[in-house]
Amino acid sequence: MTRTATIPAIFFPAVHELAVFDGDGPRPQFLLDTEKLKVIVVGLEPGQQIPAHPESLAVYYFLAGEGIMTVDDEVLAVTAGARPSSPRPAPARMRATSRLTFLAAKTGAA
Report the CATH number at residue 98.
Answer: 2.60.120.10
In a domain, 21, yes or no: no
Q: What is the pLDDT of residue 83?
A: 93
Q: What is the pLDDT of residue 67?
A: 98
- Compute the distance between CA of residue 107 and CA of residue 95 in angstroms, rounded to an integer: 22
Predicted confidence pLDDT, tens digits, the chain (110 residues): 566 556 677 888 898 999 999 999 999 999 999 988 999 999 999 999 999 887 778 889 999 999 999 988 899 999 999 998 877 888 889 999 999 999 999 886 54
Pairing label, strands 49-53, 29-33: unpaired
In a domain, 44, yes or no: yes
Q: What is the pLDDT of residue 6?
A: 60
Structural domains counted in the chain: 1
Domain that holds residue 85: 39-107
Q: What is the pLDDT of residue 5?
A: 59
In a domain, 7, yes or no: no
- Compute the distance between CA of residue 32 and CA of residue 103 in angstroms, rounded to an integer: 11
In a domain, 19, yes or no: no
In a domain, 34, yes or no: no
